[in-house]
Amino acid sequence: MKLKQLLEIPELRNKNARFNPDPEICMELKSDPFKNYPGLPIENNIEASVLKFGNQLKVYLVLNENTKFQIIGKFEGVKVQLHSTYQEESIDVCEKFRKKGYATKLYLSLLKSGLNILSDFKHYPGTKGLWKKLYDNGVLIQVFDSKTNSIISDDYNLDDDDLKVWSSNKYLLLATTKKNLIDKHVFENLIRPNQKEKK
């Protein structure tokens, strides 16, 4: 199922209020709190449950071991004014499940389902490895320079990282499976509110 179809399912909009407070990552549960929600398969006994709260997107990685369930990770993003694109706000994986590629698998699953993921201006060391793995898996990375209002690359090589995009907060990165998705003017409109907040 394409993510767009998944996000249009009425239950995703109407039942979300039940999850208050949100389930915590690393939490072990006796039943799957997302069993009525469609999900994206990650691997054998792990599924990504996708919930939409207005313009917020929350994706929970749920490990199913017979009758025990554990939330092993969570992605949060906010919809931006760009087709099927969410800007990452946070990604976290339970400590004992880190360095096993689950965050990468989650992002790849979302991307293959038709979603695009936009970085924020803060580039943390942990996400650098994640984005490099996306690039190594054939994901297109577009880089926009907010200082010059220009697209630097439609398929930036994060392995070489000649521009050192991780050492500056002037760059936005877009992970996509569609070549030439964004033009300069769309990026300009996209970042203008962020720049106003900083001033």
pLDDT score for 190: 61
Q: How many CB atoms lie within 10 A of CB 37?
A: 19
63 bridge partner residues: 46, 70
Q: What is the full DSSP assignment across 131-165?
A: HHHHHHTT-EEEEEETTTTEEEESS--TTT-TT-G
Decide if pLDDT at 104 tops 90: yes
User: In this structure, what token pair is assigned to residue 167?
Assistant: 């050492």
Greater model confidence, 122 or 64: 64
Task: Say if pTM beats, i.e. exceeds, 0.85.
Answer: no
What digits encode the pLDDT tens for the residues 106-130?
Answer: 999 999 888 899 988 777 777 888 9
Decide if pLDDT at 179 tops 50: yes
Greater model confidence, 133 or 2: 133
Stretch 145-161: mean pLDDT: 84
How far CA 78 is from CA of 14, 24, 52, 94, 133, in Å, comes to 18, 19, 10, 22, 22
Name the band, by pLDDT with cuts 50, 70 and 90, for residue 161. Answer: confident
What digits encode the pLDDT tens for the residues 71-89?
Answer: 999 999 999 887 788 999 9
The alpha carbon torsion through 116, 122, 124, 129 (nearest 10 deg) reads 30
Q: How many CB atoms lie within 10 A of CB 38?
A: 16
d(CA 142, CA 180): 8
